[in-house]
Amino acid sequence: MLATVGNVNSAMASPTNSVAGLEAAATRLDLASVANSAKILQPDANATAPKLEDSAILAKRSVKKKPRVNKAPAKPPTRLPAPTEQPADSTPPPAESSSTSSKRVLVTAIEVQSTTGTISPELKTQVLGAITSKVGQPTTSEQLQQDVNAIQALGAFQEVRTQPQQNSQGVKLTYLVTPFGNVNKVVIKTLPEGTSTVLTQADTDKIFGNVYGQSLNAATLQEDIKALNEFYKDQGYALAQVVKVENIGADGVLNIVVAEGIIEDLQVRFLNKERKPVDDKGQPIKGATREFIITREIASRPGQVFNNKKIQQDLRRIFALGLFEDLALTLAPGTTDPAKAVVQINVIERKSGSITAGGGVSSSSGLFGSVSYQEQNLGGNGQKLGGEIQIGTRETLFDINLTDPWIAGDPNRTSYNLNVFQRSSNSLIFDGGTNPVRLPGRITTTTETIPATEDNGVGDPLVTGTTVPPGTVINGDTPRVLRSGGGITFTRPLDGNPYSDSPWRASAGVQYQKVSIQNSSGNGAALDAAGRQLTASGTSQDDLLLLQLGLSQDLRNNFAEPTQGSLLRLGLDQAGPVGSGSISLTRVRGSYTQYVPVSLVNFDKGAQALVLNVQGGTILGNVPPYEAFSLGGTTSVRGYDDGAVGSGKSYLQATAEYRFPIASIFGGTIFADYGTDLGTGNQVIGDPAGVRGKPGNGFGYGAGIRVNSPLGALRLDYGFNSQGSSRIQFGIGERF
C-alpha cells in the first residue's frame, strides 16, 4: 500500500538539478536488544547510512517498473541482523566522496510503504509526523538517516529504510517499513531451561494484555518489561531480571526469557566476634549450634526462586531462636550455573547459659528472692533447660523444665515442655481477709505472747499482745498447699505449615500432682478448725491426674504491645479417678480479648488501645477447695485482696482497660474489673468462700502506671472496690 503526501508544482524552482550522491538510509531493530536498552533508538545526526545506487540509475529504473515491495516472510526469521546491516535485497553502491554526502536535493513527494503490503492509517500518521524531510524542501543524506532513526524510535517497525527516486524536479522519497507481527500471547520462559516461572499466566496477561491482538511496538514492550521487572521486585524476587526477548512466532506468541534467580545451595557460616569466618590459623569457625537447627527454620530451599521477603521471614525465625547475637545474609554466584545463586546465612552465636539472682515483691508471692539457671542451647539442639528456686513470704518454689521448640523430624513444628516442680504456698482460697480459714488449735508448751490476732480453734478471739500460759489452746496457722509433681505438654500450629504464623494453635498434655495440705511446720492437715474438709479424700493428701487440652487463636497485630486484633483461649482439663481422693472432674475455661486502637490522649508517641476481656469457666464434679476458681486481686478484680471476691465452682469475669503512653518507658492505664462466682462458692468442698465471708462478686476500678523493662511491663495499680476500700497492687507483665 502506498501513501502519497504531495507533489511539487513543476514551476517550483529547484536548488539543484542533480540528485547524485543523495544516500539512502536503513536500520533494523533486534528484539533481543529491547530487554536491556534504556531507549529503543536515539536519532543520531552524525550517523552515516549505507550507500545505495546512484539516484540517476534509480530514476531510470522507476520509468521502467514500479517500486518493488518486499513481501513479508511466512515466518519471522529466528535471528535478525544488526541495526547497521545492509538489507539483503540491496546492492552496495559505489563509494562516494565525502563532499557529496551533504548535497541538498529538493523533495517532490513522500510516500510510506509497508513491505508486508499493508499499513494502518495510524502508523502512517506516526511515520509522517516523525520525519523532518518535507515536500517542497531540500533534504540531505544526513537528514534521511535522522528520519530513519526517528521512525525506528517509534518502536513499531522491525526494519526501516528509504528509497529515493529521481524525477525531473528533484527526488521522490519512499519510506519502506516492516512492522512487527501481531502479539496474541506473551509467555515467560526461565533460565536454566526447563525450570518453571513463579509467575502465573494471569500475572503475565495482566502486565502484557494491553498489546494482545495488536502489532508489537518495541517502545511499549520495553515499558511493559520494566513493569514486569517491577512486579518481580514488588513480589520479593529481587534477583529476577529479563535477559532476552525472542522474536514473535508464527502463532503470535512472544517469548520473554527471565533469569529469576534459582537458589543453588543454602550454606551456614559461623563468624567470630570480629565477623570473620576463620580463626587466626585460617581454620573455619565452628559453632556450637547444629546446622540443621538453623536450616530447618528456612522455608527457602535449593531449586526455589530466591525471594527477599521470604528470606527475611526466615532470618526473623532464626533470630527468634535466641541463640545468635547477629545474622547476615550474603549471596554468591552459583558454582554450576551463573543464573543460580548460593545463599549464605552468616551467624554470630551468643552465650547460651546464664545464672541470675533477683528478688521483688508481688501481691500473690509477697516478698521473694530467687535464683535461676537457663541453658538456651542444650547440646547444640536449640533445646532450653531451666531451673529455678524461689523463696518468699507466701510461696516457695522449685522447678526444673526442658523445652524443645521443634521436635526433630516433625513436619508440623510440634514442641514439647517437660517439667518437674514442687510448690508450697499460702493458698488464696484459704488465706487473707478478715476471717481466714484456720487449722485446728495448738497447745502452748511455754508462756507465749500472741503475735497476731488469732483464735483458739473454736472461734474465740485472742487479742494481739495477749500473754498466755503453757497449755493454752491457740491457732497461728492457715493451711498451706504443697503441690509436687510433673507433666509434659505438646503444642503445635494447626495450619500444617511450619513456616507460617498460624493464628490457631493446639496443645495436649498430661500432668500429675500430689497435693498436700500442711501447717507451717510441715505437718499434714485434713480438716480446718471447724472440722471442714480441706481435701477430696478427707486426709491431708490427694492425687490429681489431669489430661489437659488447649486451643488458641491469636490475631493480635503485635505480641508485645497489641493495639488491634483479638486473642481467644480455650481450655479443658479432665481429671482421672486415681490414687487418694479418686478425683474425677471436668474443668472448662475460656477467655476472649479484643484490642481496639484509639487515640484519646497525646502525652507521648506510642501505642494506645482499649482492651476488652471477658472470661469464664466451670467445673463438673466434686471440687476440692484448692482447685476452685479464685476471684479478686492483681490478676482478677483489682481493688480487692487476692482471692477476696470469691472461690467458686464457676466464674465469670470482665475487664475494660485503656492503655496509653506517658513518657519514655512509662505508660498509664485506666481500668474497670468485675467478677462473680455465679453463686457457686458453697458448692466447693469445705465451703472456704463461706468461711471467709467472701461476697461472691465484686467491682473494681482505678488507674495504674506501667514501666517497660526487659522482664516485661512492671505494673503498679491503685484500685478502688465496691465495698469502699482501696489498695496498691504490683505485678509483672500485662494481664492479657
Q: Given a cut of 80, is residue 91 above it in pLDDT?
A: no
Q: So what's the pLDDT on residue 464?
A: 55
Domain with CATH 3.10.20.310 in the chain: 2-179, 182-259, 262-349
Q: What CATH number labels 406-439+477-732? A: 2.40.160.50
Peptide bond into 192 cis (omega under 30): yes
Gap between the Cα atoms of 293 and 461, Å rounded: 64
Q: How confident is the model over 477-502, as pLDDT tens digits?
A: 788 999 999 999 999 999 989 998 89
Report percent pLDDT > 90 for the chain. 64
Ranking 68-82, 91-105, 217-231 by mean pLDDT, the lowest is 68-82
DSSP annotation string for 24-51: P-EEE--GGGTTT-SSS----TT--PPP
- How confident is the model at residue 17, as a pLDDT? 34
- The domain defined by 262-349 folds into Ubiquitin-like (UB roll) (3.10.20)
pTM assigned to the model: 0.75
pLDDT for position 2: 36
Nearest to 434 by CA among 731, 725, 682: 725
Write down the pLDDT at residue 364.
62
Class of the domain covering 182-259: alpha beta
Q: Quote the pLDDT of residue 705.
A: 96
How far apart CA 105 and CA 696 sit, in angstroms, is 110
Residues 464-472: contacts with CB within 8 Å, 24+ apart? 468/444, 469/444, 470/444, 470/445, 470/446, 471/443, 471/444, 471/445, 472/443, 472/444, 472/448
Start and end residues for every CATH 2.40.160.50 domain found in the chain: 406-439+477-732
pLDDT confidence band for 294 (50 / 70 / 90)? very high
Decide yes or no: CATH 3.10.20.310 for domain 2-179: yes
300-342 pLDDT, tens per residue? 999 999 999 999 999 999 999 999 999 999 999 999 888 899 9
